[in-house]
Structure 1
Amino acid sequence: MRFSGKVWRYGHNVDTDVIIPARYLNTADMKELAAHAMEDIDPEFAGRVQQGDIIVAGKNFGCGSSREHAPGALKAAGVACVVAESFARIFYRNAINIGLPLIELGEGEINIKAGDMLEVDLAAGVAKNANTGESFTVPALPGFIQEIAQAGGLVSYTKKKLEK
């Protein structure tokens, strides 16, 4: 899996209430939720994010409540993947279930700024900041997680497996 997109940069402990505020959870329509994604931390995000853009964040991205709406809203908004130092475990699992790839880098300085263009090759385990030319290793996702993401999520992946 390969992605190339503009970076949206956030800090540590971005919780699910910031990713999709609870006041909008009266709908399960992901396109409607996408229109409000990240609005409490970045009011311009939902109106400016483009298909294929990438979120880069610090530690503990997706902490807070276990709502599946958070990764779903990001994916519906067009986010191709999220790169962070670490993820809350329930967010990580929910993202896998809906087919949103996550890249966990571990602690350390991530030299990527908002607006940079990032190219990610999950199969090769390499990312490149097109603005700086800097490349770095990213942990390759296990094959079955890449298959789930390519299928569009766990439900689609399971249906395809059952059809065979």
Structure 2
Amino acid sequence: MSKILTAEEVKRHNTRKSVWMVIRNEVYDVTSFVDEHPGGEDPILDAAGQDATIAFEDVGHSEDAKAMLKKYKIGTLAPGEGCCKMRAKIWRSSSQYHRDCTECNASRRGKPCRPPPPPPRGSQDDGNSRLKYVVLALGIAILLGFAYKKYSSG
């Protein structure tokens, strides 16, 4: 029977001496594998104590690498303890590594774990903001045209 672990338990194992991570809601103790990892120790240590599902999947690990995980499995993440509670450091809202929790089965309703933060004021670059300025400039130009016409005719 698989041991059920919480996000808090996994988070405590975030140093080189004890490296646990979650991939597809399964908890792995990869401490002994850090020195053997073909990609070096940094990717593993960056995800230590966190959910590394999307980072693991996006790298394109081979079937052999996925099969190797079995020997490091120590348990299963408790229900409701998904990536919202243990997002990896490399996940930023704009990062390719964190699109939404549906990719790591943390959300049962298919919704992102939390909406992305609103863009900083004045940095919106979506066309709507530009359209407002174009319409405003056009309106001002029309008013100036009427004022000039009235001034010059009379």
TM-score (norm 2): 0.26
Bigger share in helix: 2
Larger Rg: 2
